[in-house]
Amino acid sequence: MKHIVLVIALFFTFQNVNAQLFTKEKVANNPDNIDQKLLSWGYFLGFNQYDFEFDYNEDLKDILVDNSFGFHLGLIGDLRINNYMNLRLEPGVFFSTRNMRYDESYFAGTDFNDSDLLREVKSTYIHVPLLLKISTKRINNFKPFIIGGFSAALNLSSNQDNPDDNSAGQFRMTKNTYFYEIGFGIDLYLLYFKFTPSIRGVFAMNNEIVKDADPNSPWTGNVASMQTRGVFINFTFQ
Model pLDDT for residues 193-208, shown as the tens digit of each residue: 899 999 999 999 999 9
Domain span holding position 220: 29-237
Domain holding 76: CATH number?
Answer: 2.40.160.20
Q: How far apart are CA 3 and CA 7, in angstroms?
A: 6
Q: What angle do CA 89, 92, 94 make, to 5 degrees?
A: 140
Non-local (6+) Cβ contacts of 167 within 8 A are: 212, 213, 214, 217
Residue 6 lies in a domain: no
- Residue of 71, 89, 181, 186 whose CA lies nearest to 139: 186
CA 69 to chain centre: 10
Is residue 123 one of the residues assigned to a domain? yes
Quote the pLDDT of residue 88. 97
pLDDT given at position 27 = 65
Of 162, 173, 160, 58, nearest to 121 (Cα)? 173
Residue 24 has a pLDDT of 53
Q: What is the DSSP letter of 173?
A: B
**DSSP sequence for 210-225:** ---SSTT-TTTTTEEE
Is residue 192 one of the residues assigned to a domain?
yes
| Residue 5 belongs to some domain of the structure | no
Q: What CA–CA distance (Å, rounded) separates 160 from 175? A: 6
**Which DSSP letter does residue 22 get?**
H
E-strand stretches of the chain: 39-56, 64-67, 69-80, 85-89, 92-101, 118-135, 142-155, 176-189, 194-204, 223-237
Mean pLDDT in each 10-residue stretch from start to end of the chain (238 residues)?
A: 37 42 57 80 96 91 91 96 95 96 88 89 96 94 95 95 90 96 95 93 96 92 95 96
* Planar angle of CA 92, 131, 156, nearest 5 degrees: 30
| Number of separate domains in the chain | 1
Per residue in 103-142, pLDDT (tens digit) is 998 888 788 888 899 999 999 999 999 999 999 998 888 8
pLDDT at 38: 92
Q: In this structure, is residue 232 part of a structural domain?
A: yes
